[in-house]
Amino acid sequence: MDHPITVEQVLLAKRTAMERFFFIPAAEDNDNGFDRLMTMRSKDEIDAASKTHGSGWGGIYLEESWQGHELENIQKWVFKDAIRLISVMCRVSPEVALDELRKHRSEGLDCDEEMRAHRDVEGVLYESSRLGVRGEYKH
């Protein structure tokens, strides 16, 4: 890796991945709700957060074409897209992209690291093994 991956590049990947699945007219955080999505445990949380001003989620709505899918699958797909985008944009391996994605958390996110790590290991990083990510992170 010739140049370090910047926070702006990671945020661009997170935002772009979210925009594939969500209509985002007014996000309240700097990554279009990416990190908040990863902490959610049910699709009801998406609906509730979208209707609550000041929730930190903002005006973020799941696109109609994705409505029939399970939250866990949506989380996996968004996460994998962000890893893929960082890998391609920065010319790094998926492992490096994963490390960078985990380093840069949304500003103002008040969920604890333990909950995110559990969601990552149980719901998201497991699926990313198809990209060559080994799942070496232990909870």
Per-residue confidence (pLDDT) for residue 124, from 0 to 100: 43
Integer Cα distance of 9 and 15 in angstroms = 10
| Domain limits, the chain | 7-130
The distance between the two most distant Cα atoms of the chain, rounded to a whole number of Å, is: 44
> Which segments within the chain are labelled E, that is strand?
22-27, 58-62
Per-residue confidence (pLDDT) for residue 29, from 0 to 100: 84
Per-residue confidence (pLDDT) for residue 58, from 0 to 100: 76
Confidence of residue 11 (pLDDT cuts 50, 70, 90): very high
Integer Cα distance of 82 and 11 in angstroms = 9
| 19/59: higher pLDDT | 19
